[in-house]
């Protein structure tokens, strides 16, 4: 027993000393095998050396990829400008006149790209690992070569970023699919189906055409069907998300109009320009942050939102006090007057900021997105706008239902003479209500600036849709505005998916015309008494 313990101790000590030994250094034979000879032998040498931790071997592979390798019968040199170093020792050397170029053909270039990406996997951080893994995946899909499997398998055995590991597993399956081993191809076909990544679909389709094994072909067909179901699901969810996103934008644009038109009965054709003013206010705040507070740039929206609300609310209040207050109860004159104001506002903005669009940059935390089901991308800026629209809606609802101003607005809307008899200053309430609706339009402009360019004509794209939402939802009904905005957004995007944008817009207009003819009061009718001023 004691002898067995001694033997085990000696064995463990030997293994420990072997593990502590450095990796085998690059030899002249290795360098020559990479630089010259049969292409298959060179590929084998490149893949073997790429999987080691030898920095000299990695430098040799990079030099070959850069076509900076020269060789004689017994030496390989790396050329760096006018200087040369020995590829094996790394020492400075004199390049012999007889040294020739190491030739690189197209097949070798692909192998070198794969090898360099594999080297990045062993030495780089998570971000570079993801880039290298995606490069390996692309190379494997374009030209699957089982010779690269040892490099992939070694990388998968180590510590990897989760996204990089997923890309490598797909690259491994693609290479295995090109193997001569039927069992390996069958396992790869099943793995590609289980991955449920739409990116592998072209690879599977191409392989089905050339596959000779019925079992592998059946597995590939099953995997393709699974991916097609996933693609259909992702497409449907993507259209739904796009429709809800459009609905949230329409909701923001229409909420202010739901107050100025729905509650006050003012046909404000300058509502789109109030949205535009909010967007320009956001751009101005962004510009000031970039110049004076660049370290706080990611938080400029915290200042831009109240600035956009205040700018549009101020313009709205001035409009109401100078023009609209004299036109209550005269809808045609109000329409013409506000249309003229919209032209004045657009020309003023052109004179101040120019006719060209200006770009509003997203904060870093709104850049990028979430990818689901392989191909369904949910941009962060759209998700933020969804949450913002919900927050604005809740705020407006609470303000109308729970505050003194909301009580006065509802009272003046339903019965102006009685409200005046009870001491309510109806003229002041009109101004506050119009300023509130205008300020909400400014918030809509702030949100719209995060998904597109800002220009003098920005509001023109939303004024008609805003009126359609308010009329369809029911005049004076915030709940109806919500249903109408989301419903129109979803209908528009689903029809657009198979009929195109133009026909989708026509179909929505026809739907609204038919609906209003059958139900003039909209989705929700205004309850209670309403007396004209």
Q: Both 352 and 482 in a single domain?
A: yes
Q: Both 379 and 485 in a single domain?
A: yes
Q: Both 361 and 282 in a single domain?
A: yes
DSSP 356: S
- The side-by-side arrangement of strands in the sheet containing 69-71 is 92-93, 83-86, 76-80, 69-71, 100-101
The ranges of the chain with pLDDT < 50 are 1-23, 528-533
- What's residue 5's pLDDT? 42
Q: Both 68 and 120 in a single domain?
A: no
Q: Both 268 and 398 in a single domain?
A: yes
Q: Both 83 and 121 in a single domain?
A: no
Q: Both 308 and 391 in a single domain?
A: yes
- What's residue 525's pLDDT? 58
| CA pair distance 16, 444, nearest whole angstrom | 68
Using DSSP's 3-state secondary structure scheme, residue 528 falls into coil
Name the packing angle between helices 426-448 and 404-414 (round to 10°).
110
Q: Is residue 497 part of a domain?
A: yes
Q: Nearest to residue 451, comparing CAs of 337, 369, 349, 340?
A: 369
- What's residue 476's pLDDT? 61
Q: Is residue 232 part of a domain?
A: no
Q: Both 98 and 154 in a single domain?
A: no
Number of domains in the chain: 3
Taking only the tens place, the pLDDT of each residue in 100-131 is 888 888 888 877 877 777 777 666 677 777 77
Q: Is residue 5 part of a domain?
A: no
- What's residue 278's pLDDT? 94
Q: Both 82 and 179 in a single domain?
A: no
**Domain termination residue (choose one: 192, 212, 232):** 212
404 lies in which domain range? 240-518
- What's residue 1's pLDDT? 44
Tokens of 160: 């990897």
Q: Both 118 and 180 in a single domain?
A: yes
Q: Both 350 and 443 in a single domain?
A: yes
- What's residue 123's pLDDT? 66
Residue 203: how many CA atoms within 13 Å on its side-chain side? 28
Q: Is residue 369 part of a domain?
A: yes
Q: Is residue 6 part of a domain?
A: no
**Domain termination residue (choose one: 104, 119, 134):** 104
Q: Nearest to residue 58, comparing CAs of 67, 44, 47, 74?
A: 47
Sign for the pseudo-dihedral over CA of 14, 20, 26, 28: negative
Q: Both 456 and 348 in a single domain?
A: yes
Name the packing angle between helices 39-50 and 149-157 (round to 10°).
10
- What's residue 446's pLDDT? 92
């Amino acid at each position: 027993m004691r002898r067995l313990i001694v033997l085990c101790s000696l064995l463990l000590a030997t293994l420990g000393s072997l593990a502590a030994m450095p990796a085998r250094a690059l030899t002249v034979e290795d360098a020559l095998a990479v630089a010259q000879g049969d292409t298959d032998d060179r590929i084998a040498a490149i893949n073997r050396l790429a999987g080691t931790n030898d920095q000299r071997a990695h430098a040799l592979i990079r030099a070959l990829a850069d076509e900076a390798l020269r060789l004689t019968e017994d030496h390989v040199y790396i050329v760096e400008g006018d200087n040369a170093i020995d590829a094996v020792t790394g020492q400075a050397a004199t390049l012999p006149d007889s040294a020739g170029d190491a030739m690189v053909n197209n097949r070798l270039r692909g192998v070198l790209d794969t090898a360099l990406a594999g080297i990045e996997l062993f030495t780089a951080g998570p971000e570079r690992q993801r880039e290298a893994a995606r490069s390996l995946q692309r190379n494997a899909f374009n030209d699957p070569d089982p010779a690269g499997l040892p490099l992939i398998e070694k990388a998968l055995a180590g510590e990897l970023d989760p996204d990089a590991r997923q890309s490598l597993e797909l690259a491994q399956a693609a290479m295995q699919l090109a193997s001569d081993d039927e069992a390996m191809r069958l396992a790869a076909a099943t793995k590609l189906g289980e991955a449920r990544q739409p990116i592998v679909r072209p690879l599977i389709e191409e392989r089905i055409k050339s596959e000779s094994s019925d079992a592998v072909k059946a597995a590939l067909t099953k995997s393709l069907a699974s991916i097609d179901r996933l693609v259909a699901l992702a497409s449907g969810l993507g259209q739904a998300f796009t429709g809800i996103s459009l609905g949230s934008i329409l909701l923001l644009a229409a909420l202010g109009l739901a107050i100025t038109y729905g509650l006050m009965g003012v046909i404000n054709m300058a509502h789109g320009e109030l949205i535009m003013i909010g967007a320009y206010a956001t751009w101005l705040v962004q510009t000031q942050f970039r110049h004076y507070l660049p370290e706080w740039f990611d938080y400029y929206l915290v200042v831009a939102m109240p600035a956009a609300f205040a700018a549009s609310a101020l313009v709205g209040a001035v409009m109401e006090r100078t023009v609209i207050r004299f036109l209550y109860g005269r809808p045609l004159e109000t329409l013409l007057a506000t249309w003229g104001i919209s032209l004045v506002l657009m020309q003023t903005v052109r004179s101040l900021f120019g006719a060209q669009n200006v770009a509003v940059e997203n904060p870093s935390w709104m850049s990028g997105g979430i990818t689901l089901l392989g191909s369904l991308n949910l941009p962060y800026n759209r998700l933020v706008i969804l949450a913002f629209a919900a927050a604005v809606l809740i705020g407006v609802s609470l303000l109308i239902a729970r505050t003194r101003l909301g009580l006065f607005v509802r009272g003046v809307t339903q019965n102006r003479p009685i409200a005046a008899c009870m001491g309510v200053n109806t003229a002041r309430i009109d101004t506050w209500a119009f300023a509130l609706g205008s300020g909400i339009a400014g918030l809509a402009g702030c949100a719209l600036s995060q998904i597109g360019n800002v220009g003098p004509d920005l509001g023109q794209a939303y004024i008609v849709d805003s009126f359609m939402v308010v009329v369809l939802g029911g005049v004076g009904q915030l709940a109806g505005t919500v249903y109408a905005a989301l419903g129109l957004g979803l209908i528009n995007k689903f029809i657009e998916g198979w009929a195109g944008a133009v026909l989708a817009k026509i179909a929505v207009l026809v739907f609204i015309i038919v609906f209003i003819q059958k139900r003039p009061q909209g989705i929700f009718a205004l309850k209670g008494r309403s007396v004209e001023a």
